[in-house]
Amino acid sequence: MRPQVLEVQSLSLPGVFEILPKRFADDRGFFSETYSAAAFERLKLPVNWVQDNQSLSHKPGTVRGLHFQRPPMAQAKLVSVIAGEIFDVVVDLRRTSPTRGLWAAVRLSAERGNQLFVPTGFAHGFMTLEANTQVSYKVNAPYSPEHERSIRFDDAAIGIEWPDLARVVLSEKDAAAPPLTDVETGF
């Protein structure tokens, strides 16, 4: 039998998981199996990834999000950090969920190699904590501009406790994002 290569920890919102791929280290560095369809099937998580995305943020304090796609193009995501560190956040958007409007966060870093699994029905965003941070993520539905939506990162009703609001860097789109109460999520 093959040894377990992924450790999975539940976050405070149902269906959201921190995933810690096992690292096999020696004097050269390490090897890590960062994704395994068989392991994800055992965990009953999506395995039909259709697109990989990567972002580079030059400045600490860069916020990307909160983003999601409405059904039928809703996306699950598997997020990891290639270089640097982020404060990674999800917000439950599901209308009938007892945790609707609540958030959970985890720090992801290249050093730890941890990942975040974000199911459909959640908005996702992150703040970079180091210069030149690179984030990579898999999605199980292609990008669809007509289904894409954003929610204000600092929506007071959600109350995300971002680590450093003094140096926030936003895109024009994210700066203009509405609060959750003004967004029809479709979930």
Pick the CATH number of 6-182 from 2.60.120.10, 3.40.50.300, 3.30.413.10, 2.60.40.3140: 2.60.120.10
DSSP string, 71-103: TTS---EEEEEEESEEEEEEEE--TT-TTTT-E
Q: Is the pLDDT of residue 47 over 80?
A: no
Q: Is the pLDDT of residue 70 over 90?
A: yes
Min mean pLDDT across 28-37, 81-90, 115-124 is at 28-37
Residue with tokens 């690179």: 134
To the nearest 10°, report the CA torsion of 93, 99, 103, 104: -120
> 10 Å Cβ neighbour count for 117?
21
State residue 22 phi and psi, 5-degree precision: -70, 140
The pLDDT of residue 39 is 85
Q: Is the pLDDT of residue 45 over 70?
A: yes
Instruction: Name the residues annotated as catalytic.
Output: 67, 137
The band of 38, judged by pLDDT with boundaries at 50, 70 and 90, is confident
The pTM score is 0.92
